[in-house]
Amino acid sequence: MKVIGYTRCSTEEQAVDGVSLETQLGRIEAWCELADAELVEVIEDGGVSGTRPLADRPGGARVASLLEARKPDVDAVVVARLDRLGRDASEALSCLRKFANGSVGLVSIADRIDLSTPQGRAMAQVTFVFAELERSLIAQRTSDALCELRSRGKAYSPTPFGFERDGDSLALHASEQKALARMRRLRAKGKSYRAIAQSLNRSGTPAKKGGAWFASSVRSTLRTADKVGRPKEAAA
């Protein structure tokens, strides 16, 4: 089996034992010897963050091109650890899908993932299903928790427009509450979200983090404010 080794480390990781490019290469070479695989090329991305998309990295672009090739000249890409492909969960999952469905396999030594065989690809597909399920459950739990905090007038991040933090609770923000009241009046008169945003921008009313208003931000601001429970009154 002909394979390509891929190594990556960020600037901060270069001096860390077990993550350096040299250590990763050593593990890949040892695996190739045990698996009787021919290491035909080693691609390095030194000083490159794992949050950067694979195709946007100097070396990663070569790996990404293999995934798109109809007749690649190698059988698999070997990495010391899966996080060398990407630190971002969605990016790593996307790469795994491409490897599982493409012509090039993937071997992650530390994670014991082998997508170079039909059995390994089938097991990976099952893993993807449960990974997506867990991500969905986490998102749902987070959403439920935020809804509960809002309904009780408790502080959460980010603090919604019209309110400010007062310890663990939300308190009314006087000037932003005036802006909210204005939005509601304009909305009651039949004004569109876009028209309200333009009105706020003309009057110099800043958004929560400064900057301009847009139709989408006006809509989300009003909807969120209506879901907040009874917070404390703003201090005089």
Q: Catalytic residues, which ones?
A: 10
| Helix, strand, coil percentages, rounded to 5, for the chain | 50, 15, 35
Q: Long-range pairs for 100-103 at CB < 8 Å and ≥24 separation?
A: 100/124, 100/125, 100/128, 102/67, 102/68, 103/69, 103/70, 103/71, 103/72
Backbone phi and psi for residue 206, each to the nearest 5 degrees, phi listed first: -80, 150
Tokens of 196: 């309200």
SS3 category, 201: helix
Q: Compute the distance between CA of residue 216 and CA of residue 110 in angstroms, rounded to an integer.
A: 45
Distance, in Å, from the CA atom of 85 to the CA atom of 132, rounded to the nearest integer, reads 18
The helix (run of H) or strand (run of E) holding residue 165 is strand 163-166
